[in-house]
Structure 1
Amino acid sequence: MVRPFSHSAKVRSRGYSTPLQRRITDFGADVPFGKIANKFKEHYGIDVPITTACRITEAHGEKVAGLQERLHEIPETRGAEYVVAEMDGSMIPVVATGQSSQSSGCHDRRKDRRVEWKEARLTLAHSKGCVSPVYGVTLGGADQAGDLLLDCAIRAGCGAITRVHCVGDGAQWIADQVSRVFALQADCLIDFSHLCEYLAAAAPVCAPAAPKEWVEQQKTKMKDNQVSQVLEILEKHKEPESAAKDAPVRKCYQYISNRQHQFDYKGALKADLPIGSGEVESGHRYIIQDRLKRPGAWWKKENANSMLALRVLRANHGWDAYWDSQFQHAA
């Protein structure tokens, strides 16, 4: 049967045009699927079933995730003088349903439902002074996050002479991955606010009469790279080994002593480079948590991965290019 209008308009019965799919996906990447129907009724006066909104959004997210290609080789061109790179993990709720035992005669996968928390590792990189980072996110392990950080750095302008300045919270896996993918081309710096939290916890023990003043003195020393002097002060007040595991002075001492080569704040400030990892921490909120960490929401891992792909696509300003390609494909 020939349908002239359907042929010329490139639509089919009970189908959804590419412009409509774009709007559904746009809403789906921002709000729970249950709210999309109300928003479409309010904005466009049409009814969109929740299941359809979910199916279309997740299908495009899966397609976006499949289109992502990773860069693994730093170009031989000079590149930017400095590239700032950060990565960190954030926990999201996931659910899995296993295969029920055939011998038990039970085929209801809901009876084998497991809920857990999965770490989403966010990476970003940008050249010094740039305000538009390149983002990446993975639900994989540390090596995948490291490869993703390298990809972001290359896209941000990393070249043969580039110095990669990485700021993190002190997690060992971050330092290991920076060393693995950048070798001697990068250095790690402990996020200054994380350091201050340890100092603030130790202050009431080291200087009970004036804890705030003590913290400011140690902060000044650390910014001047006087790490050994701060360690000497902490050692004088360090709790005995028999004390509780969370003894604040001992924890602060260990935190600093185990990372002594990661406190070059003086060099970073002189080069006008950041000493905090606030960019990646704020990225967790508006890229990951705003959509995937909602009360009562649990995600299948594959659907969470698709949603993360959509949100990173938008953060990287690739939204228009993706939909342009979908329009061309539809034509």
Structure 2
Amino acid sequence: MDSRIVELLEACFGEELSALGGDLGALEDRVTVLMRECGQGLLQRVVSKGSAGYQGSTLACSCGRWKRFVGYRSKHLHTTVGWIDIQRAYYHCPSCRTSDYPYDRSSGLGSESLSPGLAKACCTLAVGSSFNETSRMIEELFGQTVSPRTVQRVVHHVGSVALDQHRRNLELFREHRAPPACEAPPKRLYIAADGTTVHEREGWHESKVGCIRWEDARHRLQQHYVGGFENSERFGHLLWWQACRCGFRQAAEVVYLGDGAAWVRSIHDKHFRRATFIIDWYHAQKHIWDCAKVLWGEGKNETAQWADRCCRWLWKGRTRKILKELTERRRRCRGRKREAIEDLHRYVKVNQEQMRYDVFRAKGYVIGSGMVEGACKHVVGDRLKRSGMIWSRCGSSATLALRICWLNHEWDPLWQQKPLAA
């Protein structure tokens, strides 16, 4: 800042600040408040001197007629430095009765009273915190009071814009079959898919989550996410589209991790056939332990011994040994126990090729689903599954889309589109 401006500010506020003595914290707090008040006044003066969207006496209307300049209309706007008033040019089409404020469109103003800067701050905090917490943090950081309800409305609006953008990208791909470009193809790309439930007003519903992981040229770990309440077909296209952006088509090796669920397998078979499909180690172990608990009961020594033995065989890729053990044990069991054995036998037999863990480990592949299990928690659980949270479908979808946009480092491009005005 120009030293003359600093000297002028010191002349205005120096006596008041000197009275605070050597308390740096108190000085800092007071200077922050004073700078906010100065910023509010400066912003008001600069905005008041502008044309405020006046573009002549008439404007072309989308109906083919002309919108006429009626006059100026006031808007009370809440910014990061306080409230200001804006007089904007107002146009009206007498034919289709459309109203228009060109200044609002060019400045990215929406129906809410929040400025783009304050709305962006609310959304930035709300991708990781509840609406109540965000309201408190906005007051602490900016000295502005924004109600939790206002935060919620803004997040839902901007998140819906992000969601619509993703859907448009998908529709463009499906229409033109043109995959997105990749800047730096990785040597090995991991793709994982899983699902987690979210409590909505209509009950618990599954959100599908995808995670794409790779090392960049500097050996730094990179991750991108996909998530939503889409059906498996649409989610598969979204995951494929994001994977292409991360280098799926150019990568030397591709590994696909999942739990073996039908929808996870169908996405692999349709979009990622060239990828090595691995049933993640956690889910494979869980199936064995679930069967063992049915056979001997929870917490029994026999349960742990049998499950550990089968897991050791599985670790070495000896799925035939497990199938033989299950076949022999099935002859001696009836009822619920036999059903559990048959379920595990079917699971192992169907997924034998995806359970060659000895081969996968020899190639240096990650066999655990930590990346996708972590993604479910990081992307969905940490924001949408907190204690007591019950969502509307619109709210959960929009908030999830906004959070993924943040995690994928697509934040600034989103706000460059002026989402409040969309």
The question of a shared fold, defined as TM-score above 0.5 by the shorter chain, is answered with yes
The answer to whether structure 1 residue 29 and structure 2 residue 135 are counterparts is no
CA distance in 2, matches of 1:182, 1:39: 43
CA 261–324 in structure 1, closer or farther in 2 if over 3 Å, else same:
same
Mapped to 1, the partners of 2:207 and 2:331 lie a distance apart of 36
- 1:74 CA displacement: 5.7
Deviation at 1:142, TM superposition (A): 0.7
Which residue of the other structure, out of 116, 131, 139, is the alignment partner of 1:18? 116
1:197 corresponds in structure 2 to 286
Distance in 1 (CA, whole Å) between partners of 2:128 and 2:331 is: 49
Q: How does 1:1-331 map to 2 (within 5 A)?
A: 5-7=46-48, 12-14=75-77, 15-68=113-166, 69-70=169-170, 79-95=185-201, 115-127=202-214, 131-159=221-249, 162-183=252-273, 185-203=274-292, 212=304, 214-238=306-330, 242-244=334-336, 247-326=339-418
Contact 2:226 2:238 in 1 (8 A): yes
Give CA-to-partner distance per residue, 1:119-147, whole Å, 9 cap, x none: 11011112367622111112110111211
Give the deviation of 1:162 after TM superposition. 3.9
Partner of 2:211, secondary structure, is strand
Larger Rg over CA atoms: 2
1:62-87 deviation per Cα after TM superposition (whole angstroms, max 9, x unaligned): 11112222456568999444321101
Cα deviations across residues 193-222 of structure 1 (Å, max 9, x unaligned)?
22222333445759x876545544433332
Give the Cα separation in 2 of the matches to 1:160 and 1:317: 22
Query: Which residue in 1 is equivalent to 2:38?
Result: none
Mark the CA change 1:52 to 1:199 in structure 2 (over 3 Å): closer, same or farther: closer
Query: Which has the higher relative contact order, 1 or 2, with Cα contacts under 8 A spaced 6 or more apart?
Result: 1
The superposition leaves residues 10-33 of structure 1 with CA deviations (integer Å, 9 ceiling, x where unpaired) of 894233222211111122222222
How has the CA–CA distance of structure 1 residues 209 and 43 changed in structure 2, closer, same or farther, with 3 Å as cutoff?
Answer: closer
**Do 2:180 and 2:245's aligned partners in 1 also have CA atoms closer than 8 Å?**
no
| Closer/same/farther in 2, CA of residues 73 and 261 from structure 1, 3 Å limit | farther
Flag the 1:76–1:261 CA change in 2: closer, same or farther, 3 A.
farther
Q: Residues 76 and 160 of structure 1 are in contact (CA less than 8 Å); yes or no, is this contact kept in structure 2?
A: no
State the Cα distance separating 1:94 from its structure 2 match.
2.2
Cα contact 1:64–1:309 (8 A) shared by 2: yes
Residue 23 to residue 75, structure 1, CA distance change in 2 (3 Å): closer
For the residues of structure 2 that align with 1:28 and 1:232, how far apart are their CA atoms? 53
Q: One-letter code of the match for 2:403?
A: R
Report the Cα distance in structure 1 between the residues aligned to 2:412 and 2:161, rounded to whole angstroms: 15
Moved more, 138-147 or 31-40: 31-40
d(CA) in 2 for partners of 1:61, 1:203: 44
Q: Deviations over 1:150-184 (max 9, x none)?
A: 1222122112564421111121111111101123x
Residue type of the partner of 2:188? Y
**Between Structure 1 and Structure 2, how many residues are aligned?**
306
Structure 2 residue runs without a partner (length 5+): 1-43, 53-73, 78-112
Please provide the CA RMSD for this pair. Answer: 3.2
Find the residue that maps to 2:76 and give its secondary structure.
coil
Gap change, CA 1:48 and 1:315, over 3 Å in 2: same
Deviation at 1:4, TM superposition (A): 5.4
Give, in angstroms, the shift of residue 52 of structure 1. Answer: 1.9
Aligned equivalents of 1:321 and 1:75: distance in 2? 16
Q: CA deviation at 1:8?
A: 5.2
**Residue identity opposite 2:138 in structure 1:** F
- Work out the percentage of aligned pairs sharing the same amino acid: 21
What secondary structure sits across from 1:244 in the alignment? Answer: helix
CA separation in 2, counterparts of 1:73 and 1:175? Answer: 24
Quote how far apart the aligned CAs of 1:310 are: 0.7
The residue identity in structure 2 corresponding to 1:116 is G
SS in 2 for 1:133: strand
Distance 1:287 1:47 in 2: 28
Q: Displacement, 1:248?
A: 4.1
One-letter amino acid of the structure 1 residue matched with residue 150 of structure 2: T
Moved over 6 A (4+): 75-78
Between the aligned partners of 2:412 and 2:331, the Cα distance in structure 1 is 58
For normalisation by structure 1, the TM-score amounts to 0.80
- Give the C-alpha shift of residue 311 in structure 1: 0.5
1:250 match: secondary structure: helix
